[in-house]
Structure 1
Amino acid sequence: MPTHRDAAPGTPPGGDGGQVAVEFLGMVPLILITLVLLWQCVLVGYTFTLAANAADEAARVCAVDGDYDAAARRNLGASWSETAEVNCPGAGEMAKATVRLRVPVLFPGAIAFPFPVTGEAGAVREDEGAGG
């Protein structure tokens, strides 16, 4: 069994037996904050993807004068669908759809950031008599 005389010079009596645990406890908040920030970045990216896909779906249906609002909300989760704003103006050769979604903070369905994420898409309008 090592004695105090066998310890390295400058080592206090009793050794450094709990140092790793203390350092780990000091790092836990930093690790958790990093994970929370990464998760929030994933939610922001996923909201951009949802908005773009919903706008694409809405533009396709709007081009044939269908229910573009229902088409845009079809693939959105309930949390994003509640606050979605879908718009598809009726004039012109192009059907241009715009979908605005709110980015949730940490958990979908909870509070959201005050800025919306916008997805835009377009599709050529189809004539009713142009069938083949």
Structure 2
Amino acid sequence: DTVLRVTGKGGKTRLVPVLPVALRAMAEYRRLCPYHLDPKGLLFRGARGGPLNPAIVQRDMAKLRSALNLPDTATPHALRHSFATHLLGRGGDLRTIQELLGHASLSTTQIYTGVDTARLLEIYEQAHPRA
């Protein structure tokens, strides 16, 4: 399994699983990138080779949303939230989702995915049926 180390909000580092199609796209990006990319360093670079400015990514996301007629609420954070919620809804383990999201506390993951106590009990019963 291949993972990508991503530094996000608050300087928090997360290990993100990467699909083979994304690995191929990253390899092509590396091949085409005019700047030296240290395998242990930053992957995405700005126009002059420095760190990519988050405002540039936010601007491009806004352009994509507009081109695809998506609402302003279609953000990377919303995608992350949907990812976690769908995993949980399809029987994903809350602890695994917690690890994927990089949450320190399980209660944060529970709140983040909108899980209520009844849903947790339902998941528990499915995973640990009484004999």
Normalising by structure 2, we get a TM-score of 0.24
Which one has a bigger Cα radius of gyration?
1
The structure with higher relative contact order (CA 8 Å, sep 6+) is: 1
From the two aligned structures, give the one with the greater strand fraction. 1
Normalising by structure 1, we get a TM-score of 0.24
